[in-house]
Amino acid sequence: MTTTVPVSGGGFRPYEVVVGHGLLAELGARVAPLAQGRTVVITDETVGRLHGKAALASLKAAGVHGRLLTVPAGEASKSFSELERVIDRMLAFQLDRKDVVVALGGGVVGDLAGLAAALFMRGIDFVQVPTTLLAQVDSSVGGKTAIDTPRGKNLVGAFHQPRLVVADIEVLATLPERQLRSGWAEVLKHGLICDSGFFDWLAGDGAAGAKGDPGALERAVVRSVEIKSAIVGEDEKEAGRRALLNLGHTFGHAIEAELGFDEAKLTHGEAVALGCALAFRFSAGQGLCPPGEAERAEGVIAAAGLPTRLAQAGTFRSAALVKRMAGDKKAEGGRMTLILARRIGEAFVAKEVDAAAVTAFLEREIAAA
């Protein structure tokens, strides 16, 4: 079965997210109506070995000439130097404004390829073909593209919506268990933000998705995309409600930055999971959320094999983490903005959060290790 989720809003051209099994073989037929005959498929070394030939074969069968452009696997590819190299190769391929970029890979490839497409000749179309669970449920939808800098994650980028997203559940079978769990963190995040019923399912029968059950994965991807598309449609550029999707990210990004964005130590999904647990515990400590809700959220995250405590990620200093959080791109005028919770399924944007309260909270968390 194939499910199509529309994504639309007042400020961008509508597009569709197609979720199903065996969709990589249909890629060419779906891209052909968008392309004038040429594409560049941007992927990383790992995904290229697994799925590059199949993607090119599908494009060729549909009469679309595709070339493969491979980048190193890992977060380090989200850099100015790699962005420059990708755009230079696109110029060497003599792409023009009617051609299409296909981003075949996880969040790193989607971010890098999407930003390259946004910049190339002031913007050309691109198609997201997410090959990780994290990318299927989160980064491929919504048009955020970015690279990292030494000062933080995703600080240089653009909003550039894809023309199409093709999420093939079957490619998830090639994911290592840790990467699958990392993607599951974003699935749990969607339930924690605004759908307690979905979270209840994820805590029960749906938990099989974290272990690779195809049926549970498909349902989890579809519902996550529905949630994200609804929020993006209301608020494309994060002026309001879209900020809710950052639940766990301000804590998580600070932790990632302190670890040097080292995926061997902590993946992005693991950082989000840990950040969500911290956000719920901080909310409970501030009297905003019943302690039992925070405990349940933490329990379900932990049951999925994801971290919930700082000690599971490394050794940290509260002052360093707070400094990172205060410099996050969601901060305004130096004041800290956090996504907090009133209960499971009811997150909210908290502006002008007292940095001293966050510091004290983190000191307690570190001391409890």
Catalytic residues: 122, 144, 186, 228, 238, 242, 246, 249, 253, 268
Q: How many of the other CB atoms lie within 10 Å of CB of 334?
A: 8
Which amino acid is located at 231 in the chain?
I
Residues 250/275, Cβ–Cβ less than 8 Å: yes
In DSSP terms, which residues pair with 18 in a beta bridge?
A: 4, 166
311 neighbors 362 (Cβ within 8 angstroms):
no
Backbone angles phi and psi of 315, in degrees to 5:
-110, 130
Give 22's DSSP letter.
S
CA distance 46 to 26: 21
Contact between 344 and 192 (Cβ < 8 Å): yes
Alpha-carbon gap, residue 275 to 250, rounded angstroms:
7
Q: How many other C-beta atoms can be found within 10 angstroms of the C-beta atom of residue 220?
A: 30
Q: Report d(CA 255, CA 39) in Å as an integer.
A: 37
> From CA 215, how far away is CA 218, in angstroms rounded?
5
Give 47: exposed, middle or buried? Use CB within 10 Å, 0-12, 13-18, 19+. Answer: buried
C-alpha R_g of the chain: 20
Buried-state track 256-287, b at ≥16 Cβ within 10 A, e below 16: bbbbebebeebbbbbbbbbbbbbbbbbbbbee
Q: Is 311 helix (H, G, I), strand (E, B) or coil?
A: helix
Nearest residue to 255 via CA among 305, 180, 297, 318: 318
